[in-house]
């Protein structure tokens, strides 16, 4: 029994598929999903890509959190642009590192993303790593995505680097590589 199960509201009607360990619930008129490895027991108001990504992320055994777009954890941005802070959609803690993961449709990726792609180091070692995950395959930031697979974006030598994968599960695995 998970430590927070006793805190669940009393009238949850779960629907559980045997191959997936995520509960679908309706609370206060909204749909919520209960996860196994998330910081909080349930999250709601996820769009389709975020929900699919959260389910793939939950298959990993590390702790993660769905960060709200306002009022949540943020990273101050040092370069000029349309915003002064970056609120990653997901935060993951794994092996002494913090991963800030932001899935988005390939059409939403722009040059401004490059100012949010970075690693933060302490004592010469990366401690916070930012990754973008886009639907479709892309080789350049402003390129129209091909319809298959996903692209994981990370910084390498000061430039955004795309890594193509076939599934969200592979995208999660690639995103969590140091």
Q: Choose the weakest-confidence range: 12-16, 20-24, 31-35, 97-101.
A: 12-16
Per-residue pLDDT of 93-119, as tens digits, reads: 999 999 999 998 766 666 667 778 888
**52 close to 168: Cβ distance less than 8 angstroms:** yes
**Share of residues in the chain with pLDDT > 90 (%):** 36
Q: Choose the weakest-confidence range: 14-23, 75-84, 132-141, 154-163.
A: 14-23
| pLDDT band of 13, cuts 50, 70, 90 | very low
């Amino acid at each position: 029994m998970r430590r927070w199960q006793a805190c669940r509201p009393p009238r949850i009607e779960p629907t559980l598929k045997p191959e997936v360990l995520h509960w679908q619930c309706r609370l206060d008129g909204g749909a919520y999903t209960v996860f196994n490895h998330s910081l909080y027991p349930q999250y709601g108001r996820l769009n389709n890509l975020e929900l699919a990504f959260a389910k793939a992320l939950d298959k990993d055994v590390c702790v993660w959190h769905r960060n709200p777009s306002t009022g949540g954890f943020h990273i101050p941005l040092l370069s000029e642009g349309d915003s002064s802070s970056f609120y990653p959609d997901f935060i993951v803690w794994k092996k002494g590192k913090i991963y800030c993961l932001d899935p988005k449709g390939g059409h939403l990726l722009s040059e401004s993303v490059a100012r949010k792609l970075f690693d933060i180091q302490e004592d010469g070692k990366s401690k916070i790593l930012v990754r973008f995950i886009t639907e479709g395959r892309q080789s350049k930031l402003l390129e129209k995505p091909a319809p298959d697979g996903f692209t994981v974006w990370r910084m390498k030598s000061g430039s955004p680097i795309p890594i193509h994968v076939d599934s969200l599960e592979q995208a999660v695995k690639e995103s969590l590589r140091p």
